[in-house]
């Protein structure tokens, strides 16, 4: 539980400003404009075609935020933190997360109306989102989900006691979940379902890992694509149930269970609040993100997932604990 002090309540408002300043700096490409060598105010204005008033204000604010420093000659330089995490092209780049937040900004600004109506911003203001948002989202999730999935693959003995897996990666995005299994088991094969443009990016990730010949793509809508019957040893639902909502998640779990061979496993990765929905904070904040962005989405408890899995005929529904602070334990169930 987060315990707030009175001064924290005022600070929360200012954190909104801090967040928007850092996100805007990434959107403008400010850290690249400054570059490894540093830059003066005039350099930054010139390279980014920025107004003097605007550039001054944002550069100044980024100094106490710890993302820039400026010497007595007026040269701005990146700090260790911004050089490591906000310069594109590095493995530890966190800018995609911030760019994703920028895309959510408008809907979050409309939160009071979504609370009143229960209807997401995008339904009341249609036509402003495209498939490229999903590509950015999936790419942003790749590093963390690939890392978590690699640990899960090891835990389940992929490539050792569990070999030759046939995997179905539903709403695969970048393919992070199934690609980690292909990397762990050279005899495994995966089929990834998602929208075509998103799968284009997943295919590139498979090529980078030299597993593209074992990574098949099946473009289409997961609500319509036929997953088949008894075909897979592992079906992965990675971060999809929260946007599908309860009714479609239950259907998706049932369709996934049907596509599993006997002895196969269903793996669900999502943000999972406690049964009484009093914590942890992240899954409950994420449910609000689903309120403003989707018509039915939310976050679901372990008991809800267990009920959906059991009604799909799956057994032994349990958690797979992994040590990662912002990731809920994964849920796994067996087809007997």
Ligand X SMILES: C[S@@+](CC[C@H](N)C(=O)[O-])C[C@H]1O[C@@H](n2cnc3c(N)ncnc32)[C@H](O)[C@@H]1O
Cβ of residue 223: shortest distance to ligand X, in angstroms?
5
With contacts defined by CB under 6 A, name the span among 68-76, 87-95, 221-229, 271-279 that binds ligand X.
Answer: 221-229
What is the Cβ-side half-sphere exposure of residue 178, based on CA atoms within 13 angstroms?
37
Looking at the Cβ atoms of 95 and 173, the one nearer to ligand X is 173
Locate 191 and state its tokens. Answer: 């089929």
Locate 215 and state its tokens. Answer: 């990574």
- Tokens 């993302």 appear where? 67
Q: Is 294 in the site for ligand X (CB under 6 A)?
A: no
Cβ of residue 171: shortest distance to ligand X, in angstroms?
3
Q: Which of residues 197-216 bind ligand X (CB under 6 A)?
A: 198
Hey, what's the torsion of the CAs at 132, 134, 140, 142, to 10 degrees? -120
Residues present in the chain in total: 336
Rounded-to-integer distance, Cα 246 and Cα 301, Å: 11
- Tokens 């609040």 appear where? 273
Q: Is 41 in the site for ligand X (CB under 6 A)?
A: no
Q: Which residue is nearest to ligand X (CB)?
A: 173
With contacts defined by CB under 6 A, name the span among 36-44, 171-179, 290-298, 311-319 that binds ligand X.
Answer: 171-179
> Contacting ligand X (CB under 6 A), which of 234, 240, 268, 312?
240
Q: Is 158 in the site for ligand X (CB under 6 A)?
A: no
Q: Is 255 in the site for ligand X (CB under 6 A)?
A: no
Cβ of residue 133: shortest distance to ligand X, in angstroms?
9
Rounded-to-integer distance, Cα 217 and Cα 235, Å: 14
The torsion region of residue 273 among left (phi > 0), alpha (psi -120 to 50) and beta comes to beta
Which residues of this chain interact with ligand X, rule CB under 6 A?
134, 137-138, 141, 145, 171-174, 176-177, 194-195, 198, 221-223, 238-240, 243
């Amino acid at each position: 539980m987060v315990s707030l002090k009175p001064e924290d309540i005022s600070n929360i408002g200012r954190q909104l400003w801090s967040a928007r300043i850092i996100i805007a700096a990434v959107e403008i490409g400010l850290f690249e404009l400054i570059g490894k060598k540093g830059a003066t105010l005039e350099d930054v204005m010139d390279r980014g075609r920025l107004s003097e008033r605007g550039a001054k204000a944002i550069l100044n604010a980024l100094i106490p935020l710890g993302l820039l420093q400026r010497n007595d000659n007026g040269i701005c330089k990146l700090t260790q933190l911004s050089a490591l995490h906000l310069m594109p092209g590095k493995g530890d780049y966190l800018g995609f997360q911030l760019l994703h937040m920028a895309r959510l900004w408008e809907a979050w600004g409309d939160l009071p109306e979504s609370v009143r109506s229960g209807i997401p911003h995008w339904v009341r203001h249609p036509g402003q989102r495209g498939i490229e948002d999903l590509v950015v989202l999936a790419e942003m999730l790749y590093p963390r989900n690939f890392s978590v999935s690699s640990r899960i693959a090891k835990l389940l003995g992929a490539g050792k006691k569990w070999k030759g897996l046939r995997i179905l990666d539903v709403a695969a995005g970048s393919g992070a979940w199934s690609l980690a299994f292909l990397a762990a088991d050279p005899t495994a094969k995966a089929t990834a379902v998602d929208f075509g443009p998103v799968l284009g990016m997943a295919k590139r990730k498979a090529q980078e890992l030299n597993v593209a010949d074992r990574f098949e793509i099946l473009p289409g809508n997961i609500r319509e694509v036929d997953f088949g019957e008894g075909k897979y040893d592992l079906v992965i639902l990675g971060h999809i149930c929260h946007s599908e909502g309860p009714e479609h998640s239950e259907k998706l779990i049932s369709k996934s269970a049907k596509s599993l061979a006997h002895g196969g496993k269903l793996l669900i990765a999502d943000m999972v609040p406690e049964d009484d929905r009093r914590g942890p904070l992240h899954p409950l904040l994420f449910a609000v993100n689903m309120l403003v962005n989707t018509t039915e989405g939310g976050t679901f408890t372990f008991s809800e997932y267990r009920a959906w899995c059991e009604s799909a005929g799956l057994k032994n529904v349990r958690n797979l604990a992994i040590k990662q602070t912002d990731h809920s334990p994964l849920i796994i169930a067996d087809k007997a």
